[in-house]
Chain A
Amino acid sequence: GESVGLHLPTLSVQEGDNSIINCAYSNSASDYFIWYKQESGKGPQFIIDIRSNMDKRQGQRVTVLLNKTVKHLSLQIAATQPGDSAVYFCAEIFKAAGNKLTFGGGTRVLVKP
């Protein structure tokens, strides 16, 4: 498959601390990157996106960093809250291949009270 999630990595973080979730993407020519959050029993929910011509974008409590040199994407969550407990996925879109969309394997975030 295009996205292997056989062993879902888990990040355990104390409430109030900052979280950093990492993602290695596959295509150096991808144009657009998205972070999704998926809570138990729900579909993925858009968090933040970034275009390939940017290296940083900030939202509310979240920041996405893009390092094209090493094909690495990260999501930083400030002051992590219990409601942030979920599985986080990165996704890349390669427009030249007809908007080919590929998801990363996901990271589970557990927030400890």
Chain B
Amino acid sequence: KAGVTQTPRYLIKTRGQQVTLSCSPISGHRSVSWYQQTPGQGLQFLFEYFSETQRNKGNFPGRFSGRQFSNSRSEMNVSTLELGDSALYLCASSPSSLETQYFGPGTRLLVL
């Protein structure tokens, strides 16, 4: 099976812009989670989608949003970008729960 894929792999944006990141889960996986990874804060859980519904949410502001499509593919959107949003954004998929997640390679976002 192909692994979790994320596009784009690298992205440069400026403050105030918005960005949409995409994640294609492993075939058959219905749960997709998003994480932010920074040197200062480490790995932080953003949210989890399961069958097109947000099932879990971390402690991030409303500028961070996501959605999941019927084919389980997921997108994450960040509006009004701030310098502090520069990070590696990781997507992980699992058949059903957070216990068996497979991570993608991430999208590295740089906000200037």
Q: Do A and B share a complex?
A: yes
Contacts A2-B59, A41-B105 hold; do A103 and B99 have CB atoms under 8 A apart? no
Task: Say whether A99 contacts B98, CB under 8 Å.
Answer: yes
* Residues of chain A from 28 to 62 with CB closer than 8 A to chain B in the complex: 32, 34, 36, 41-46, 49
Confirm or deny: B27 has a beta carbon within 8 angstroms of a beta carbon on chain A: no
Contact A5 B40 (CB under 8 A): yes
> Restricting to B79-112, which residues have a CB under 8 Å from any CB of A?
90, 92, 97-106
Given contacts A42-B105, A43-B4, A43-B103, contact A93 B90 (CB under 8 A): no
8 Å CB contact of A5 from B39, B59, B106: B39
Q: Do B92 and A43 have beta carbons less than 8 Å apart? A: yes
A4 to B59: give the CA distance in the assembly, Å. 14
Q: A43-B92, A44-B90, A99-B56 are in contact. Are A3 and B99 (CB under 8 A)?
A: no
Q: Is B61 an interface residue, CB under 8 A from the partner? A: no
Q: Count residues on chain A whose CB falls below 8 Å from chain B CBs.
A: 29
Q: Which residues of A sit under 8 angstroms from B41, Cβ to Cβ?
A: 1, 3-5
Chain B interface category by residue count = 20 to 34
Partner of B103, one of A1, A5, A45, A99: A45
Asked if residues A2 and B103 are in contact (CB atoms below 8 Å), the reply is no
**Which secondary structure characterizes the binding site on chain A?**
loop
Alpha-carbon distance between A5 and B100 when the two chains are bound, in angstroms: 23
Find the residue from B42, B98, B99 having the highest chain A CB count within 10 A.
Answer: B42
CB of A43 within 8 A of CB of B43, answer: no
B42 and A105 contact, CB distance less than 8 A: yes
Checking B35, B58, B102, B104 against A46 with a beta-carbon cut-off of 8 angstroms, the contacting residue is: B102
Bound form: Cα–Cα A93–B101 in Å: 12
**A42 / chain B contacts, CB cutoff of 8 Å:** 103, 105-106
A32 close to B99 (CB less than 8 A):
yes
